């Protein structure tokens, strides 16, 4: 069994690592499905603010993998997203090398479609690279791409979280204007798309610096192995001047569709078929496709059903069938209401069965003493008429609790008869000769869970104050 986070997400096994935290495969007990959970490793104010930005992003698009929910437990926080099993574009190129041009056009079309949805929300991704572009496990069918990892993304107009002379992103996928300390924009994301496309079609990571120098005298010729129609689109995306690039992802997508029609499909028929297979692997021991195997998911319905089953099975057990009734109640405690009904019928049949034969008379024990005769069994007719069963001998009477200044039993205090305690010192409760005395026993007070630690509360307070100041500034600027 894995660690249950915030009473809902059960961490199963780690499946990846990012710059801000570890990514786990987790079981969502509420929605009853496997998800990917990114657990934040640090809890300083800067990292928490980036976490707030990333988990607040909600983009519903088939080619965007955005956070779906989040949870906090003591000093740790996580957010979840759909579980994507086919690895990344980096894994795909590592397995097959250079990909067929028509296959690359399909991938770039989906990437630009998702990026258009991100830009429509006024969000700049700022970290588009092959490792952040995931694939569903589609086998040899049509690939399905998901743009992920919005950890350093920024909505236009939001304040920066880094210093002025500090560039955020992955080396090798920066746009030239970012290296000149300009603010990242939509055009910067489109430049990164061009680098990703060149990486897919050549199978090698492009040299951004050398590529920048080749553009000094205009767009260079198509690199070796790159089809000319596809290079016309990639070369336009890789223009050093942002004003010369495509203005939007939608415009680049239209140009890519026209280039795909010009590609010779027969040239890629004999190439190796590209298969996107499962990169996560099987579930560890103790987990199955429907969740943990050795325990039911926690929930009020399951607990209520178990309690009802235990009550139903225990209440239908007669005197003659006490053993059967006890077994039925135990079995029904971990089952459902239907199981309780089945076990109740078993207990009823046991109660209606004829009484067993009378046991032989007891014999003298080894010490020479004679045991008492057992009480006579209650006739069936008398039990049906509602006559009470004879009381067992030698049972001490139970003294009623004496009223006093103590709270009632349902308010945290329980009263026990004094003869149930071992004899104490003279004059103290529990001394023989005082069978009616009541000794109050104070139930332990429930443990109070402490609040969040100071090193978590203070950064969260600073984040709230920063958000408040940003809102006031925005309102003042709008006025």
Convert the pLDDT of each residue in 161-207 to its tens digit: 555 445 556 777 888 888 887 788 999 999 999 999 999 999 999 98
How far, in Å, CA of 455 to CA of 47, rounded?
Answer: 13
Judgement on whether residues 221 and 249 belong to the same structural domain of the protein = yes
Higher pLDDT, 351 or 15: 15
Judgement on whether residues 261 and 129 belong to the same structural domain of the protein = yes
Work out the number of other CB atoms within 10 angstroms of the CB of residue 22. Answer: 16
Judgement on whether residues 112 and 227 belong to the same structural domain of the protein = yes
Choice among 112-121, 268-277, 386-395 with the minimum mean pLDDT: 386-395
Judgement on whether residues 64 and 11 belong to the same structural domain of the protein = yes
Give the CA diameter of the chain: 119
Q: Which residues make beta-bridge pairs with 25?
A: 13, 36
CATH number of the domain to which 41 belongs: 3.30.200.20
Domain termination residue (choose one: 277, 303, 337):
337
How far, in Å, CA of 200 to CA of 407, rounded?
Answer: 76
Convert the pLDDT of each residue in 50-61 to its tens digit: 666 666 778 899
Radius of gyration of the chain (CA): 36
Average pLDDT over residues 346-373: 45
252 in any annotated domain = yes
Judgement on whether residues 223 and 93 belong to the same structural domain of the protein = yes
Average pLDDT over residues 255-265: 87
Please give, one letter per residue, the 3-state secondary structure of the chain: CCCEECCCEEEEEEEEECCCEEEEEEEECCCCEEEEEEEECCCCHHHHHHHHHHHCCCCCCCCECCCCEEEEECCEEEEEEECCCCCEHHHHHHHHCCCCHHHHHHHHHHHHHHHHHHHHCCEECCCCCHHHEEECCCECCCCCEEECCCCCCEECCCCCCCCCCCCCCCCCCCCHHHHCCCCCCHHHHHHHHHHHHHHHHHCCCCCHHHHHHHHHHCCCCCCCCCCHHHHHHHHHHCCCCCCCCCCCHHHHHHHHHHHHHHCCHHHHCCCCCCCECCCCCCCCCCEECCEECCCCCCCHHHHHHHHHHHHHHHHCCCCCCHHHHHHHHHHHCCCCHHHHHHHHHHHHHHHHCCCCCCCCCCCCCCCCCCCCCCCCCCCHHHHHCCCCCCCCCCCCCCCCCCCCCCCCHHHCEEEEEHHHCCCCCCCCCCCCCCCCCEEEEECCCCCCCCCCCHHHHHHHHHHHHHHHHHHHHHHHHHC
Judgement on whether residues 203 and 221 belong to the same structural domain of the protein = yes
400 in any annotated domain = no
Judgement on whether residues 16 and 129 belong to the same structural domain of the protein = no
Contact 20, 151 (CB under 8 A): yes
Q: How does residue 265 score in pLDDT terms, banded at 50, 70 and 90?
A: low
Number of domains the chain is built from: 3
Whether 109 has a pLDDT exceeding 60, the answer reads yes
Judgement on whether residues 194 and 119 belong to the same structural domain of the protein = yes
**Domain range spanning residue 49?**
4-83
- Angstrom distances, CA of residue 238 to CA of 145, 204, 252, 455: 22, 16, 12, 45
100 in any annotated domain = yes
Contact 410, 396 (CB under 8 A): no
377 in any annotated domain = no
Whether 412 has a pLDDT exceeding 60, the answer reads no
Judgement on whether residues 251 and 169 belong to the same structural domain of the protein = yes
Judgement on whether residues 196 and 221 belong to the same structural domain of the protein = yes
How far, in Å, CA of 259 to CA of 251, rounded?
Answer: 13
178 in any annotated domain = yes
How far, in Å, CA of 51 to CA of 152, rounded?
Answer: 9
pLDDT of residue 225: 87
How far, in Å, CA of 29 to CA of 3, rounded?
Answer: 12
Residues in the chain: 479
pLDDT of residue 444: 57
How far, in Å, CA of 136 to CA of 64, rounded?
Answer: 12
162 in any annotated domain = yes
Mean pLDDT of the chain: 73
Judgement on whether residues 105 and 211 belong to the same structural domain of the protein = yes
Average pLDDT over residues 347-353: 42
Work out the number of other CB atoms within 10 angstroms of the CB of residue 38. Answer: 26
478 in any annotated domain = no
pTM, two decimal places: 0.60
Convert the pLDDT of each residue in 420-450 to its tens digit: 444 444 444 444 444 445 445 555 555 566 6
Domain termination residue (choose one: 26, 58, 83):
83
Residue keyed to tokens 């996560």: 280
454 phi and psi, to 5 degrees?
A: -65, -35
130 in any annotated domain = yes
Choice among 8-17, 35-44, 283-292, 348-357 with the minimum mean pLDDT: 348-357
Judgement on whether residues 181 and 307 belong to the same structural domain of the protein = no
Average pLDDT over residues 135-163: 83
Higher pLDDT, 351 or 96: 96
Q: How does residue 377 score in pLDDT terms, banded at 50, 70 and 90?
A: low
Whether 362 has a pLDDT exceeding 50, the answer reads no
Higher pLDDT, 309 or 210: 210
CATH number of the domain to which 224 belongs: 1.10.510.10
Average pLDDT over residues 279-286: 92
């Amino acid at each position: 069994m894995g660690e249950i986070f915030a009473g809902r997400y059960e961490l199963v096994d780690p499946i990846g690592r990012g710059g801000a935290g570890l990514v786990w495969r987790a079981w969502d007990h509420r929605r009853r499905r496997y998800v990917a959970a990114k657990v934040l490793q640090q809890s300083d104010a800067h990292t928490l603010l980036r976490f707030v930005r990333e988990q607040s992003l909600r983009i519903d698009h088939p080619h965007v993998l955005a956070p779906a929910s989040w949870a906090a437990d003591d000093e740790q926080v996580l957010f979840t997203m759909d579980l994507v099993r086919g690895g990344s574009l980096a894994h795909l190129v590592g397995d097959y090398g250079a990909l067929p041009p028509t296959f690359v056009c399909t991938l770039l079309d989906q990437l630009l479609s998702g990026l258009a949805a991100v830009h429509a929300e006024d969000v700049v991704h700022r970290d588009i690279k092959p490792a952040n572009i995931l694939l569903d496990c589609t086998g040899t069918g049509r690939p399905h791409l998901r743009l992920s990892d919005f950890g350093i993304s920024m909505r236009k107009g939001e304040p920066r979280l880094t210093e002025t002379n500090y560039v955020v992103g992955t080396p090798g996928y920066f746009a030239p204007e970012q290296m000149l300390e300009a603010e990242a924009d939509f055009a910067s994301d489109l430049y990164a798309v061009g680098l990703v496309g060149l990486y897919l079609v050549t199978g090698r990571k492009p040299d951004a610096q050398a590529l920048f120098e080749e553009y000094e005298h205009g767009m260079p010729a198509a690199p070796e192995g790159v089809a000319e129609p596809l290079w016309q689109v990639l070369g336009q995306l890789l223009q050093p001047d942002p004003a010369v690039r495509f203005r939007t992802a939608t415009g680049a997508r239209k140009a890519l569709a026209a280039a795909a029609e010009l590609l010779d499909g027969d040239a890629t028929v004999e190439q190796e078929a590209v298969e996107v297979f499962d990169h996560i692997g099987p579930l560890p021991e103790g987990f199955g496709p429907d969740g943990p195997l050795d325990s039911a998911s926690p929930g009020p319905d399951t607990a209520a059903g178990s309690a009802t089953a235990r009550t139903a099975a225990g209440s239908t057990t007669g005197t003659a069938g006490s053993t059967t009734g006890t077994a039925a109640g135990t079995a029904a405690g971990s089952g459902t209401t239907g199981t309780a009904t089945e076990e109740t019928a078993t207990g009823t049949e046991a109660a209606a069965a004829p009484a067993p034969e009378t046991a032989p008379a007891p014999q003298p024990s080894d010490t020479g003493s004679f045991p008492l005769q057992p009480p006579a069994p209650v006739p069936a007719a008398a039990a049906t008429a509602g006559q009470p069963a004879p009381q067992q001998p030698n049972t001490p009477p139970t003294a009623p609790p004496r009223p006093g200044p103590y709270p009632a039993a349902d308010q945290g205090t329980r009263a026990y008869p004094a003869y149930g305690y071992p004899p104490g010192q003279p004059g103290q409760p529990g001394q023989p000769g005082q069978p009616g005395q009541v000794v109050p026993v104070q139930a332990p007070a429930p443990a109070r869970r402490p609040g969040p630690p100071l090193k978590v509360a203070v950064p969260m307070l600073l984040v709230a104050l920063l958000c408040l100041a940003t809102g006031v500034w925005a309102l003042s600027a709008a006025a």
